[in-house]
């Protein structure tokens, strides 16, 4: 049977991708950011997931404002990196897992989550930057990836509660898949940031740190945050944090914190990062195997 053994949460700031792609990682501004992922890269190299489900948001790249699905599950065999205006990032094509993705779609739709099935989609920095942070710059990504795009770009985005519940349905779906697959789920985006308007540049470290603490110790607190509170406390783009709740909902209550990192700033936002292993589905020696 397939199992979700861990969750990884990380910001997806596009400038991080540019720093990697343009060879700027040794600059002091960036060593501060990338230093927070050294342990994470070692950890994931030991965990060796077969599949990563990456909960991310498209930034009007694959989906224009013509069609905005609230939840869109990538069921294709491949996802090309998108051209975001400066050309596609020079990263490998993302290989999907169509069988597991179709199984998840079937299971969660039967569980009343009417997600959109996507058989063709390009993926932007929302997905490729978290992969780069965790896997570095390999010729091929070391595992198959199932993208799950969440609308946080055009009002109204889904509630945190809905996102958390979707994560629970995804866990149930994965656990009913017959093959032995080791699955890691990523929650990406955030943390507090506002790109435009009078409050551009807003970062709220207290809010961000409390959110990370809630994910690690008491997700019900973060799950009850309303849209208006994200907007007020974390800025207009802080709503990206609801995506983190999908990944948290996909883990059990029995988690062990492996790593936490927070730094300000990277571009216009804070960088937050958390790794939790799920003790209900993974032995404590997971990373030491």
**Residues at the interface with ligand DHB (CB under 6 A):** 12-15, 59, 193, 195, 237, 267-269
CB 78 within 8 A of CB 121: no
In whole angstroms, give the CA distance from residue 154 to residue 62.
Answer: 14
Least distance in angstroms from the C-beta of 5 to ligand DHB = 27
Is the Cβ of residue 13 or residue 274 nearer to ligand DHB in the bound state?
A: 13
* Nearer of residues 77 and 195 to ligand DHB, judged by Cβ: 195
The backbone region for 207, taken as left when phi is positive above 0, alpha when psi lies in -120 to 50, beta otherwise, is alpha
Nearest partner of 137 among 35, 55, 25, judged by Cα: 25
Q: Which is nearer to ligand DHB, 113 or 207 (CB)?
A: 207
- Shortest separation between residue 31's beta carbon and ligand DHB, angstroms: 18
DSSP E strand boundaries for 81-207: 94-95, 116-118, 144-150, 182-188
Query: Rounded to whole angstroms, what are the CA distances from 39 to 76, 188, 283?
Result: 31, 18, 19
Distance CA 60, CA 67 (A): 10
List, in sequence order, every residue forming a beta bridge with 145; answer none if it has no partner: 52
Q: Which is nearer to ligand DHB, 160 or 238 (CB)?
A: 238
User: Which residues are the active-site residues?
Assistant: 125, 193
Residue with tokens 């795009």: 149
User: What is the distance between the alpha carbons of residues 76 and 98, in angstroms, rounded to a whole number?
Assistant: 6
Closest to 101 in 3D by CA, of 138, 163, 145? 145
* 144 or 268: CB nearest ligand DHB: 268
Q: Quick one: how far is CA 260 from the chain centroid?
A: 15
């Amino acid at each position: 049977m397939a199992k979700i053994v861990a969750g990884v949460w990380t910001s997806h700031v596009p400038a991080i991708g540019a720093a990697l792609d343009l060879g700027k990682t040794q600059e002091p501004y960036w060593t501060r950011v990338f230093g927070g992922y050294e342990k994470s890269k070692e950890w994931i190299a030991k965990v060796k997931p077969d599949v990563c489900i990456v909960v991310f948001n498209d930034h009007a790249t694959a989906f224009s404002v013509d069609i905005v699905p609230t939840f869109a599950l990538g069921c294709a065999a491949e996802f090309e990196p998108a051209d975001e205006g400066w050309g596609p990032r020079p990263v490998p094509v993302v290989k999907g897992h169509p069988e597991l993705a179709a199984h998840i779609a079937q299971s969660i739709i039967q569980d009343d989550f009417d997600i959109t099935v996507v058989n063709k989609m390009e993926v932007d920095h929302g997905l490729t930057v978290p992969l780069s942070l965790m896997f570095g710059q390999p010729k091929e990504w070391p595992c198959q990836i199932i993208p799950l795009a969440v609308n946080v770009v055009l009002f109204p985005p889904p509630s945190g509660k809905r996102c958390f519940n979707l994560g629970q349905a995804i866990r149930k779906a994965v656990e009913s898949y017959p093959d032995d697959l080791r699955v890691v789920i990523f929650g990406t985006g955030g943390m507090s940031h506002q790109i435009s308007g009078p409050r551009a540049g807003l970062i709220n470290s207290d809010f961000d740190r409390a959110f990370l603490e809630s994910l690690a110790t008491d997700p019900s607190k973060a799950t009850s945050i309303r849209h208006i509170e994200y907007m007020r406390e974390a800025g207009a783009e802080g709503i990206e944090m609801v995506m983190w709740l999908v990944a948290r909902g996909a883990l059990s209550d029995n988690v062990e914190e492996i790593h936490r990192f927070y730094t300000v700033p990277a571009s216009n936002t804070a960088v937050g990062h958390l790794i939790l292993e799920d003790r209900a589905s993974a032995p404590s020696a997971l990373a030491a195997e």
